[in-house]
Amino acid sequence: MRADNTAHLARAARARSEAARKRAMAAIRRLDRDGYDITVGAVARSAEVSRSFLYRQADLLAEIDRLRQTRPTRSGPRLPSALRATDESRQARHDTLRAEIRRLTDENRWLREQAEALLGERRAAPRQPGGHP
């Protein structure tokens, strides 16, 4: 009589499934990081797993759907979700840039006034022999 190898087969199947899950999660992270569309097909191709495998993994499918919904519809690579700006961060950047423009404008005005004053002093100074002021 043959030995019962079902436990070994089950363990090997679990290991293959876990490896496929890890490849799929890595593919999702990589596609998001690189700014590409995150679809079941794209993840399946990138992770070298079947689409039906992904459809049976509720957590992976939920992550794909979540990331797909957070991206605007347009062609080409997009920013990863971690790098997309929020309205608050955009406003803070806007305020910071406006303050920097104001500071540079004031500094520019001060430098212009300094240059005008020095030029006026130079013109008012008596000329010395040799043609140098």
Average pLDDT over residues 24-52: 92
* Same structural domain, 74 and 95: no
Q: 74 falls in which pLDDT band (50, 70, 90)?
A: low
Encoding tokens for residue 42?
């794209």
pTM, two decimal places: 0.51
Does 103 score more than 80 pLDDT?
yes
Half-sphere exposure of 106 (CA within 13 A, CB side): 6
pLDDT band at residue 130 under the 50/70/90 scheme: low
Structural domain total, the chain: 2
Identify the domain containing residue 41 by its residue range: 1-84
HSE (side-chain half, CA atoms, 13 Å) at 111: 6
CA distance 104 to 81: 33
CB hemisphere CA count around 125 (13 angstroms): 12
Q: Would 133 be classed as within a structural domain? A: no
Q: What is the pLDDT of residue 125?
A: 86
The three-class DSSP label of residue 36 is coil
Average pLDDT, the chain: 87
Q: Across residues 95-111, what is the average pLDDT?
A: 95
92 and 65, same structural domain?
A: no
